[in-house]
Amino acid sequence: MNGLATMRVLALNVVSLFVALLVVCGAVHADEASEYVIGAGDSLNVFVWGEEELSVTALVRPDGRISLPGAGEIMAEGLTPAALQDQVSSRLANLVKDPLVTVSMAEIANSKVYIIGGGVPSGVFDLKQKTTLLQLLANVDLTRADLRGAHVLRDGTKLERDFESLLQKGDLSQDLALRHNDIIFFPALPEPYVYVLGAVSTPQALAFKEGMTVLDALLAAGGFNKFANRNDMIVLRRENGVEERIKVRGRDLAEGKDLSQNILLRRGDYIITNDSLF
């Protein structure tokens, strides 16, 4: 092999190595690029191999477009980086033979998710990286949220997810990757508390939890005070306009003599311990 041929082989090897590096670097953002949809305010790195003057960082304007040397005006908003990459390549084909174009996110400024509904503090959350439903909700106060009625709205379509299974049982099959403009709706619980009143150490409203019992509520309120008639407790329950009074022998329950007294509570229950006459 003569010197010229050797130089050509070396040049091809360098090009192949550089292309491989581009692929590896692009893989860092592969998941993001496959899911992320470009929005106004985002910054994009547009790199054209071997064409330094065509390689720029472009800001997506409020009208959703970017301006690229050699390619002109291109609508970027609503496209994924991969889709925009194909469009830029097509535009440059008249200037560059077989253009090798890479589009990556330089800065994400306009990927937002909205949480609304009577059961949560409403808010807007920026997605700076790929984020799942579970990851976002980990820091949201859902005490008053009706998980059974919660859902995700995407492009006007309701995406059904079992929020109870996801958040309380860790069922990751109910998780999903969030996208720009997703809306997460949480209706309010009809009554998020149970109320412990009367002759207890600390009368209070307790956040209701599934599986909560009379003993749970009594312990959370600090137990009976010294004036309590411990076997004279009532669970007052109102459902569909009908009032029900359930007698509970608290002393027998607390001393472990009759665990059948440890009834399951429902939202809105009042647990009342009466005072002793003596």
> For residue 43, what pLDDT is reported?
92
Hey, do 3-107 and 112-185 end up sharing a CATH topology, with the first three levels equal? no
* Predicted local confidence at residue 111, as pLDDT: 77
The closest alpha carbon to 254, from 224, 220, 209, belongs to: 224
pLDDT at 187: 92
Mean per-residue pLDDT pooled into runs of 10, the chain (278 residues): 48 44 41 65 92 92 92 91 93 90 86 89 84 90 88 92 92 91 89 90 91 95 93 91 92 92 93 84
**Maximal CA-CA distance, the chain:** 114
Enumerate the H helices of the chain as residue ranges.
3-28, 30-35, 81-92, 133-137, 163-168, 214-220, 250-254
| Tokens read off for 276 | 């002793």
pLDDT score for 94: 87
Which has the closest alpha carbon to 74: 98, 101, 113?
101
Residue with tokens 């929020």: 163
Place of tokens 């496959």: 34
Class of the domain covering 193-275: alpha beta
Sign of CA dihedral 93, 94, 96, 97: positive
Q: Which two tokens stand for residue 120?
A: 């949560």
Check whether domain 112-185 has CATH 3.40.190.10, yes or no: no
Terminus-to-terminus CA distance in the chain, angstroms?
112
Alpha carbon distance 44, 29 (integer Å): 12
Residue 202 identity = T
Q: How far, in Å, CA of 54 to CA of 40, rounded?
A: 22
Pick the CATH number of 3-107 from 3.30.1950.10, 3.30.565.60, 3.90.550.10, 3.30.460.10: 3.30.1950.10
How many angstroms separate the CA atoms of 184 and 178, rounded?
A: 10
Domain map of the chain by residue range? 3-107, 112-185, 193-275
Contact yes or no for 76/86 (Cβ under 8 A): no
- Residue type for position 109: A
pLDDT at site 25: 42
